[in-house]
Chain A
Amino acid sequence: MKKQYNGKKLRYGSASLLLTVAIVTAVILLNVCASALSGIASFMYLDMTVEEIYTVSDECYDLLKKEMVSRIDEIRAFNKQYNENGGTSPQRDAVSDAEGDTEFVPRDENIKVNIRFMNDKDILLEDSTMNLVLNTALEIEKEFPDYVEVSYININKNPSAVQKYLTTSLSTISKTDVVVEFGSEFRLVAEKRFFLFDSATDRAIAYNGEKQFASAILAITRSESPICLVDMAHGEAFHDTALLYTLEDAGFEIAITEDYLTDKVIEDVEKEYGGDVRLILIYNPNSDFLVETKSASGEVISDIDEIDTLDRFLDGKSSMMVFLSPQSPVLPNLEEYLEEWGISFDRHTENGTTSSHMIKDTSNSLTSDGFSPVAQYVTGGLGGQITTDMRSVSFPKKLIFRNAMPISYSSTYQETTYDPSTSENPSSDEPYVFGNYYKNGVSRAIYDLFVSSKDAVAMANGKNVASAGEFDPFRFMTVSCEMRVTQEDDLGLSSIQENSYVLACGSTEFATEAYLQSAVYGNTDFLLSALTVIGREPVPVGLLHKAFGDYSIDSLTTAAATTWTVLLTAIPAAAALVTGTVILVKRKYA
């Protein structure tokens, strides 16, 4: 072998060129293989970013494995059975041909989630923001190659390929949109949704791709997407859109209505969005909800009864979230209705003037004024169940309820202490306080979610009007539940339990950007956890957004920067040149 290698032919002869070409070809093939491998194997690269922005978390993979894979396997099994049976009337898919005959259309037995980008791959990789989004999708595809596929459509060259998304979507499609598709279901996610923005500067401050993809995939592999109806007919003033985005992350479609709440409004929204309204959000209303009003003679002046609509809505498997604050005006109709759910916002009346209480806790507050109290978790009852995952870590995240109005149980509810030691099958390991109500076959209970520390006080008009105690803290947030059991058969062997929930929060600032978009606080995680109970949909809890590092230098003046520049430029270069000069001169005259 060595003789042949040292032979003339190989060195400069005819075989030399062949050898050169062979080696160059081998190197090219090696690189092709390496590039191909990096497309399918995660070990081919290391994410060295501080934020680990190119790494999809294990929590995301676990969630998709648990929810997406099982669901897709079920659907594939169903489709296979369907095809084997030649379709089952009346569900059989039918396509009419010219003669009017129907044709059996087989279903896809290897159906996959298809993540479709609206531009060529190399152009997306060049884009500093879409690069991140594409990377996340490719990582998910690598992890679940049998269930997820990433594809690309250049909508400039091939606009007809995206027509089906335009006909059923309300928004237009741009080159930076992403369609997550599964069978006939799809979700269109705009580029902006993959990032969190600072509303003041409109600068992207975090990457939220994992959660967006997980939300979209879970939503489309379910049969429908629940709708959250946002009431805007009562002067509701949102601080920002963070709460709405959080609800979207939880898999809800957001429908905003500026009409007074009636059954027709809810029906119209359901028709327009093709799903069920499962949640009504009332956030910071400034005017009261309407009830049917009659004149002294009994003549109906206004037949709009929003409270009645809410009551009927909550009779089904539905829920409501109410956010008020100490600045909210007294809303007699709404608050009277909330009292039926055990919710009573604390107010103080003095000399005919009513003012809301505001919780102040200087020893457990984020800010020195004491009005950003850090809430304590409740460990028992429904409240404890909702926050189980959040409390399972060594250092549970803090929740902040800035400018909060305390909630008490309404007078019609009986405050009860649950003692697990007295129960054969305790629902909780620890005792807890809750309120319960039973009348005319209606059973409701109200549970604490978050409470203040024992050092908190309630302020009204600048005066201390109440103090919390060790066993009597102020309530920041409660959840009320109405339990209904429906017998499916006459023998009572089969029954289904339907619950409705009302979540009340005494702080509107709890659900603002400052707290929802921070990875430090648990406000977002809590809302997502709560929505798994009251929305009963799988939501990607625990998938954190990845905050971009702030690489700006705040403390360096221009003069200091210039000084550093001069020093860094002059000293090393001068040292090298002087050393060189000295050495060369010495050599010359040595």
Chain B
Amino acid sequence: MLAIYKKEMRSYFITPIGYVYVGIFLAVAALLFSYTTLLSSSYDTSSYFIYLIISFIVMLPLLTMKLFAEEKKLRTEQLLLTAPISITSMVLGKFFAALTLFAGTTLISCLNLIPLYVIAFEERAAAELSGNYSSASEHIGPASAEIVGCLIGVLLLGAAFLAIGIFISSLCENQLSAAVITIGVLLLMVVLNFVNSAKLIDSYVIRFIIDWVSVLSRFTYFRAGVFDIASLIYYLSLTSVFLFLTVRVYEKRRWS
């Protein structure tokens, strides 16, 4: 697994794709962050994370589209299938490589939070000088615990999206179709949540089921500042299921 992992990590950075992804992600994240906080004069970061998740619909397929589709296109798939490594190790190696790049870039984007803390420090100092501030009853600044919760939620949701992208990539013949289909699937998942929120479905049972399976509705707990263990289990399950399905696809391919 480690060899596959290193190979994929290297491939991200010996081709432009890794740098393009990092550059675009950081720029988009910074713009979204500024729009929702600095330019809106607000410490509240909940909207930022929602917009970030929507941007994942387009950005994460960039990481996953080539993982298996390219191997198939370049006919290097046979090498992987005949290599003395388990399919599970291969899939996990590729997954963790994509996850490392995604998580690393997401954590680097946390540098965007620095201005908020700097401004909060200055505002607190000014309030304390004026004598109108009591730290026991007033809070100035971003809600750090909620931000940590949202980051964890974003990473979990991103991991799930990556697993879905990897599964779709394993089914496709070329990168473009893998990317387009992944975007379509992720978009459908997100739109379904918005349809539910818009109360367009009258049946409570259907709404309940959609809400239960919806990736975005699970994230609302993190966004609200609640670390929900059931949502954690959900995201980990979703990731595991799609990685398992990817393994099944390749198991069948290897031995058929």
A residues at B contact (CB < 8 Å) = 8, 11-12, 16, 20, 23-24, 27, 30-31, 34-35, 37-38, 43-51, 53-54, 120, 122-123, 126, 131, 154, 518-520, 547, 549-556, 558, 561-562, 564-565, 568-570, 572-574, 576-577, 579-581, 583-584, 587
Contact = CB atoms under 8 A, between A and B. Distances in A.
B42 A551 contact: yes
A95 B119 CA distance: 70
B75 interface: no
A11 B251 contact: yes
A561 B146 contact: no
Interface string B97-139: 0000000000011011001000100110010000000101111
Contacts of A51: 139
Interface stretch (B51-59, B160-168, B183-191, B230-238): B230-238
A547 B137 contact: yes
Interface of B: 13-16, 18-20, 22-24, 26-27, 30-31, 33-35, 37-39, 41-44, 108-109, 111-112, 115, 119, 122-123, 126, 134, 136-140, 142-143, 145-146, 148-149, 196-197, 199, 204, 207-208, 211-212, 221, 224-230, 233-234, 237, 240-241, 244-245, 248, 251-252, 254-256
Nearest to B41: A553
A16 B225 contact: no
B139 A576 contact: no
Given A520-B134, A556-B41, A572-B108, A587 B31 contact: no
Contacts of A48: 143, 145-146, 148-149, 225-227
Main DSSP-derived SS at the B contact region: helix
B33 to A, nearest CB: 7
A583 B251 CA distance: 37
Given A53-B225, A123-B199, A581-B19, 12 more contacts: A12-B252, A12-B256, A27-B241, A31-B233, A45-B221, A48-B227, A51-B139, A562-B39, A564-B34, A573-B27, A583-B14, A584-B19
B230 A34 contact: yes
A580 B230 contact: no
A35 B14 CA distance: 44
A54 B34 CA distance: 28
B229 A555 contact: no
Contacts, number: 184
A519 B137 contact: yes
A520 B137 contact: yes
A48 B230 CA distance: 16
Nearest to A135: B226
B226 A46 contact: yes
A35 B214 CA distance: 13
A556 B252 contact: no
A16 B229 contact: no
A126 B197 contact: yes
A577 B142 CA distance: 30
A51 B137 CA distance: 9
Contacts of A551: 42-44, 142-143
B19 A569 contact: no
A580 B208 contact: no
Nearest to B115: A564
Nearest to A569: B30
Contacts of B241: 23-24, 27
A520 B194 CA distance: 40
A568 B224 CA distance: 26
A38 B228 contact: yes
Contacts of A558: 39
Contacts of A574: 23
Contact of B237 (A31, A550, A569, A584): A31
B121 to A, nearest CB: 11
28 contacts: A11-B254, A20-B244, A34-B229, A43-B229, A44-B228, A44-B230, A48-B149, A48-B225, A48-B226, A49-B143, A49-B146, A50-B225, A54-B224, A54-B225, A131-B224, A550-B140, A552-B41, A553-B43, A554-B123, A555-B126, A565-B38, A569-B30, A569-B31, A573-B26, A576-B23, A580-B13, A580-B18, A583-B19
